[in-house]
Amino acid sequence: MADFNKLTTAITEWQESTAWCVLKDPRTGEPIGGDKPARILMSSSLSERWLRMDKAYYSELRLAREQGKTTFTVDDVERFEQHRKRCYVAVTREWENIENGDEALACTPVNMEWLYSLKWVADQLLEFHNDLSNWNAPLGTESPLAADVMADSEKKYSIGASGTLQ
């Protein structure tokens, strides 16, 4: 028998787990900061924080469609980029070794907005969040999911079947 209570708990822990994203120099692919790399601790794009942001964004889109907006413009692309940035801010827990000039940059929403506005940083965050293997399990534990469940989740996520939108 399948214990859905245990499975649900394990999946929730996996969705809410965090992972470090090490920022790399886009020119060389090397970690920025060498032996003290610039890195950001983030929750996954399956976390409740991210899903709440998605729900709000897609609700706005549905409302616009219901009001007759059917064309897609450059403004829509910019709104989506802003939405994605808000998602990154929502799931950022902390960061290390990120400086602006010679001073450590505090991990605040204002500073996150600035950092995540840099295209090369946003590109790395997108790649990091699209790789669900970054969140195999909560930090310090083995994966609570069987490989076939993980593969199925990745497959569904890759085609946008998150279960949160209708």
pLDDT (0 to 100) of residue 104:
92
pLDDT (0 to 100) of residue 98:
95
How far apart are the C-alpha atoms of 63 and 164, rounded to whole Å? 17
Tokens of 37: 């790399």
Helices 74-91 + 119-130 axis angle, to 10: 70
pLDDT band per the 50, 70, 90 thresholds, residue 24: very high
How far apart are the C-alpha atoms of 79 and 3, rounded to whole Å? 42
DSSP code at position 68: T
Q: What are the pLDDT digits (tens) for 25-44? A: 999 999 999 899 999 999 98
Decide: 48 and 18 in contact? Cβ < 8 Å.
no
- Stretch 69-97: mean pLDDT, rounded? 88
The answer, yes or no, to whether residue 99 has pLDDT greater than 80, is yes
Distance of CA 41 to the CA centre of its chain: 10
**DSSP secondary structure letters along 89-125:** HHHEEEEES-EETTEEPP--HHHHHHHHTSHHHHHHH
- Stretch 43-66: mean pLDDT, rounded? 87
- Stretch 107-115: mean pLDDT, rounded? 95
- Stretch 112-123: mean pLDDT, rounded? 95
pLDDT (0 to 100) of residue 155:
55
* Residue 5 CA neighbour count, 13 Å, CB half: 0
How far apart are the C-alpha atoms of 76 and 61, rounded to whole Å? 10
pLDDT (0 to 100) of residue 95:
96
